[in-house]
Amino acid sequence: MIPARTQIRDRRKVVPHKAEPDPIKVVPFGRFGGGEWTAHPIGLVIVLGFLLMGLVGIPQFRWFFAGALVLGSLWGFLLWLYHR
């Protein structure tokens, strides 16, 4: 009589292990890709916490943050107009 482990092992399909993924299928949104949203949502909470600490604790940061927000929004809008 054949042991049960050998019977199970003989019945399943054995797929050869490849150390490297197929280079044709490795694309950002493909089978092995990370996709567009690869970060964990807790990162947003951490960044918002740092910004809040800077806004509350450093008085000069308020002006810098306001200026960066205005200039960054303007630059983003101009880039959006240019690329659409």
- DSSP string of 48-65? HHHHHHHHHH-HHHHHHH
**What pLDDT shows up at residue 3?**
56
Q: What angle do CA 30, 32, 33 make, to 5 degrees?
A: 60
pTM for this entry: 0.42
> What pLDDT digit, counting tens, does each position of 51-76 carry?
889 889 988 888 998 899 999 999 99
Give the total number of structural domains in the chain: 1
Mean of per-residue pLDDT scores for the chain: 74
| Distance separating alpha carbons of residues 16 and 14, to the nearest angstrom | 6
| Distance separating alpha carbons of residues 84 and 73, to the nearest angstrom | 16
10 has pLDDT over 60: no
Residue 59: domain span:
4-83
8 has pLDDT over 60: no
6 has pLDDT over 70: no
Nearest to 63 by CA among 51, 75, 55: 55
